[in-house]
Amino acid sequence: MNNNSIFIEKLRSSGLRPTKQRLAICKLLFDRKKTFHFTINDLSKILKKENNKKISLATIYNTVHSLKEKGHLKEISVNREKSYFDTNTSDHHHFLDIKTNELIDLKSEDVDKINIKKNLPGKKITSIEVLVKIENNN
């Protein structure tokens, strides 16, 4: 199965028609060896630079959110106004460089076991993912 077939399947499983624009989005997101962290605006700028045709912000937004809802992407909210998306959907932690806005993977084995002492009635913990904000020490 070639990558285009994989992208088409991801789009269809997310309830989207595999248009040229959406395939370009998938190629940028998933046709890479390393994890990709991005905001919607970052993705829009990269797509504009790499493709001669403009892809509307609405198409990018709807495609990313549909892929997220189906579990192909993970959303990391860093504050009320900013969310990053991650192509690595496994449970893992992140550093966030608050000066450069770079999101960096932090492996679970690099963090000691986290013990949550408070229980909420009728709720259970399904995962723990830590966001560690960092900056230069000068």
* pLDDT for the residue numbered 50: 85
Residues 75 and 103 in one domain: no
pLDDT tens digits, one per residue of 45-99: 999 988 877 899 999 999 999 999 999 999 999 888 899 999 999 989 999 999 9
Pair 115, 66 in one domain: no
Among candidate residues 86, 105, 120, the one where a domain is terminated: 86
- If you search the block for the tokens 């560690």, which residue do you land on? 132
Give me the pLDDT at residue 99, please. Answer: 92
Q: Say what the pLDDT of residue 110 is.
A: 86
Average pLDDT, the chain: 91
Q: What mean pLDDT do residues 114-118 have?
A: 87
The number of distinct structural domains making up the chain is 2
Over residues 32-47, the pLDDT tens digits come to 999 999 999 999 999 9
Q: Are 82 and 99 members of one domain?
A: no
Do 100 and 60 sit in the same domain of this protein?
no
Residues 97 and 33 reside in one and the same domain: no
Per residue, the 3-state secondary structure of 24-93, as one string, reads HHHHHHHCCCCCCEECHHHHHHHHHHHCCCCCCHHHHHHHHHHHHHCCCCEEEEEECCEEEEECCCCCCE
Give the total residue count for the chain: 138
Determine how many CB atoms are found less than 10 A away from the CB of residue 22: 23
Given a cut of 60, whether residue 1 has pLDDT beyond it is no
Q: What pTM value is reported for the model?
A: 0.87
What domain range is 18 assigned to? 3-86
pLDDT of residue 2: 66
- Residue where a domain stops, chosen among 70, 86, 102: 86
Give the CATH number for residue 22: 1.10.10.10
| Same domain for 127 and 63 | no
